[in-house]
Amino acid sequence: MKNMLEHTGIEPGRLHFSWISSAESTKFVDVVTKITDEVKALDPANKKYVKTEPKVD
């Protein structure tokens, strides 16, 4: 899934997978902090993935 999204032009680093048990609260915080930092570092103005109003004639 990650490979395919990246293959079609989504930057690496936008999709993350992690396995966190409900007992691992610190791991959860660490992972989420890391993900937010990484995604924020990507071009924030890059809105091409987000559809607002449909672009039609």
Tokens of 57: 């004639």
Closest to other proteins by CB, 23 vs 57, is 57
Least CB distance to other proteins at residue 14 (A): 10
Near other proteins by CB under 8 A: residue from 21, 26, 40, 48: 48
Question: b/e for 12-27, b at 16 or more Cβ within 10 A?
Answer: eeeeeeeeeeeeeeee
Q: What is the DSSP letter of 53?
A: S
Which amino acid, residue 6? Answer: E
Per-residue binding string, other proteins, 1-20, x by CB under 8 A, is: xxxxxxxxxxxx---xxxx-
Binding positions for other proteins, rule: CB under 8 A? 1-12, 16-19, 31, 48-49, 51-57
